[in-house]
Amino acid sequence: MNLINRYVAEVGKHLSFSSSRADIEKELKSTLEDMLEDRARKAGRSADEAMEIELLKEYGAPDKVAATYDPHPYLIGPRMFPFFTMILKMVIFGIMVGLSVVTGIQIISQMSVMGSEFVNIVGQGISGIISTSIAAFGYVVLAFAIIERIVPASEFKIDEKKEWDPASLMKEPGPDEARRGELIAEIIFTFLGLAILNLYPQVLGIGFFADEKWLYVPIFSAAFFTFIPWINFTFLAEILLDIFLLRTALWTRLTRVIKVVIEAASLAITVTIFRTPNIIGFTAESFTNMPIDPETAQTLTTIFTTMFPITLTVIMIIQGIELAKAVYRLFKIQYRTK
Amino acid sequence: MTNTESLENVAQELRRGVIVLAVLSQLSSEQYGYSLLKLLSDQGLEVDQGTLYPLLRRLETQGYLQSVWKLEEARPRRYYVISAEGKKVLPKLKKEWAGIVSMMEKMLS
């Protein structure tokens, strides 16, 4: 019986879900003991180690036995797969467009001093698109694999075969109904934002190929990176709130309040960044050792220093609108529940 | 994959479809996993343990079975029996099965 105990423990190690592990182990042990007893009776002798080995060999490898109990034999299941492909297409498209624009800027800015390096820049651009797309693919898969395991199937029935009613096209969604598609998209993009800010901050910069190597000028100064912990905090809060809403599918007064706080905090961070001097890392001096002429360096500096406050203003307006919407919906829910 | 393996896979797929109905039909009285396995085998339906035990758990989660642990001969055994919900579903499944058999007999004749 010693081998059976070890076998059962080995199967238990491969069971990824802890809630029913003890129960499965107990039932498996009981079954194996029954089977062994049955074999011994048929053989007309008492069970021995050889008989145990034969039984366990027939029953199968512990990892394969454990896999038959796994409710999640896939990384991303059929209920999530349509959203996964939709978000993945959007992310890859965004990366291709974004990095193509960056490569284009590099080619234009280095045009006057560029000779045979053109091919290298284009090659590096293409390799950047491929490597960033592969990394983004990994992050999107990771995010969906987490959602797959956090949100119970019973609360997310995309594949439910219910009869489709054309009248549903005319039906307005309930005011407190959480829109799952929007929540998933928000989780994925916030997750990617977190990954870029914390793992690939060099993406927020512009690179130049010279003397067989890449030289890199960050868009932002060190002052910007002091805001990263605060940005991380709001991004994480947003992801947690979205995951919670995916599970409950309904906005409540508490979640509306949390949303208002997150939106207000995001706006406050953007306003503070806007008011912080010298947040842009680009100056004419930054390009001193770069393979571009001083005139192009000045033009680039002017473009970025002009575009930055405009971009921040647009972001603040969008965040202001989002905050106003969140406050309005909070008061609406309070009015409805009175 | 050889032709024999391929045929065996298709035949296994066919058998897999009837396991739920077979299990529900045999659990009007309490059975533990191994006794159910033998009961099905005695009637000609060979079911792999790796298929049966997870299926029993799934049917219990879906509410068609209920189970209880009992201590017998110094060995704990988990006994399964059809639930009230399972009893409601069984006649419908039997009707469905009769329809499938009748349809396939027409097709194959």
Q: DSSP string covering A261-302, please? A: HHHHHHHHHHHHHHHSTT-B---GGGGTTSSS-HHHHHHHHH
Q: Token pair 């005319």 is at which residue?
A: A170
Q: Is B68 helix (H, G, I), strand (E, B) or coil?
A: strand
* Phi (first) and psi of residue A179, to 5 degrees: -85, 110
Give B-chain residues touching A30 at CB under 8 angstroms: 32-34, 75-78
Tell me which residue in B35, B51, B78 faces A27 most closely, judged by beta carbons.
B78
User: Is residue A142 pLDDT above 90, yes or no?
Assistant: no
Report yes or no: A181 and A85 within 8 Å, Cβ to Cβ: no
Name the average pLDDT for chain B: 90
As given in the structure block, the two tokens for residue A191 are 């997750």
Give A-chain residues touching B50 at CB under 8 angstroms: 60, 64-65, 68
Give A-chain residues touching B53 at CB under 8 angstroms: 24, 27-28, 31, 68-69
Q: Which of A26, A27, A70 to mutate to test the interface with B (most CBs of B within 10 A)?
A: A27
User: Tens digit of pLDDT for each residue in A194-229?
Assistant: 888 888 776 677 766 666 666 667 778 888 888 889
Measured between alpha carbons, how far is A267 from A271 in angstroms, rounded to an integer?
Answer: 6
State the nearest Cα–Cα gap between B55 and chain A, in angstroms.
9
As given in the structure block, the two tokens for residue A157 are 């029935």
Measured between alpha carbons, how far is A186 from A172 in angstroms, rounded to an integer?
Answer: 22
* Size of the A and B interface in Cβ pairs below 8 Å: 40
pLDDT greater at residue B90 or residue A248: B90
What stretch of H or E contains A187? helix A180-199
User: Is residue A262 pLDDT above 90, yes or no?
Assistant: yes
State the nearest Cα–Cα gap between A162 and chain B, in angstroms.
18
Tell me which residue in B49, B54, B69 faces A31 most closely, judged by beta carbons.
B49
Give B-chain residues touching A24 at CB under 8 angstroms: 53, 57
Quote the radius of gyration of chain B (alpha carbons, Å): 16
Using CB atoms within 10 Å of the CB of residue A51, give its burial: 0 to 12 exposed, 13 to 18 middle, 19+ buried: middle
Q: What is the number of structural domains in chain B? A: 1
In the 8-state DSSP scheme, what is residue A177? B
pLDDT of residue B91: 96
Residue A180 banded pLDDT, cuts 50, 70, 90: confident
Give B-chain residues touching A26 at CB under 8 angstroms: 69, 76, 78
Give B-chain residues touching A31 at CB under 8 angstroms: 33-34, 49, 53
Q: How far apart are the first and last CA of chain B?
A: 30
pLDDT of residue A278: 79
pLDDT of residue B23: 96
Half-sphere exposure of A187 (CA within 13 A, CB side): 27
Report yes or no: A79 and A159 within 8 Å, Cβ to Cβ: yes
pLDDT of residue A186: 85
CB contact under 8 A, B75 and A27: no
Give B-chain residues touching A69 at CB under 8 angstroms: 53-54, 57
As given in the structure block, the two tokens for residue A77 are 């299941």
Q: Taking residues A36-47, report their average pLDDT.
A: 88
Q: Are strands B31-32 and B65-72 parallel, antiparallel or unpaired?
A: unpaired
* Phi (first) and psi of residue B67, to 5 degrees: -135, 160
Nearest to A60 by CA among A2, A5, A10: A10
Cβ neighbours of A44 (radius 10 Å): 6
Q: Taking residues A267-275, report their average pLDDT.
A: 89
pLDDT of residue A91: 83
Using CB atoms within 10 Å of the CB of residue A144, give its burial: 0 to 12 exposed, 13 to 18 middle, 19+ buried: buried
Give B-chain residues touching A57 at CB under 8 angstroms: none
pLDDT greater at residue A80 or residue A271: A271
State the nearest Cα–Cα gap between A24 and chain B, in angstroms.
9
Cβ neighbours of A130 (radius 10 Å): 13
Collect all residues with Cβ–Cβ distance below 8 Å to B26 and sequence separation of at least 6. Answer: B36, B39, B40
Measured between alpha carbons, how far is A230 from A197 in angstroms, rounded to an integer?
Answer: 12
Residues of B within an 8 Å Cβ radius of A: 32-35, 49-51, 53-54, 57, 69, 75-78
Residue in A closest to B34 by C-alpha: A31
Give B-chain residues touching A35 at CB under 8 angstroms: 34
User: Tens digit of pLDDT for each residue in B38-83?
Assistant: 999 999 998 888 889 989 998 998 899 999 999 877 788 999 999 9
Q: Which of B57, B61, B62, B72 to mutate to test the interface with A (most CBs of A within 10 A)?
A: B57
Report yes or no: B34 and B47 within 8 Å, Cβ to Cβ: no
Tell me which residue in B34, B51, B69 faces A31 most closely, judged by beta carbons.
B34
CB contact under 8 A, A26 and B75: no
User: Is residue A326 pLDDT above 80, yes or no?
Assistant: yes
What stretch of H or E contains A49? helix A49-59
As given in the structure block, the two tokens for residue A154 are 């019973």
Measured between alpha carbons, how far is B59 from B68 in angstroms, rounded to an integer?
Answer: 14
Report yes or no: A176 and A333 within 8 Å, Cβ to Cβ: yes
Nearest to B24 by CA among B88, B102, B100, B78: B88
Name the average pLDDT for chain A: 80
Nearest to B48 by CA among B40, A16, A308: B40
* CATH number of the structural domain spanning residue B83: 1.10.10.10
Report yes or no: A102 and A206 within 8 Å, Cβ to Cβ: yes
Q: Taking residues A245-257, report their average pLDDT.
A: 86
CA A67, B33, A38, A2 dihedral sign is: positive
Measured between alpha carbons, how far is A160 from A183 in angstroms, rounded to an integer?
Answer: 20
Tell me which residue in A26, A64, A69 faces B54 most closely, judged by beta carbons.
A69
Phi-psi region of A278 (alpha: psi -120 to 50; beta: other; left: phi over 0): left
For B24, the domain range is 3-108
Cβ neighbours of A156 (radius 10 Å): 20
As given in the structure block, the two tokens for residue A231 are 């940005």
In the 8-state DSSP scheme, what is residue A291? S
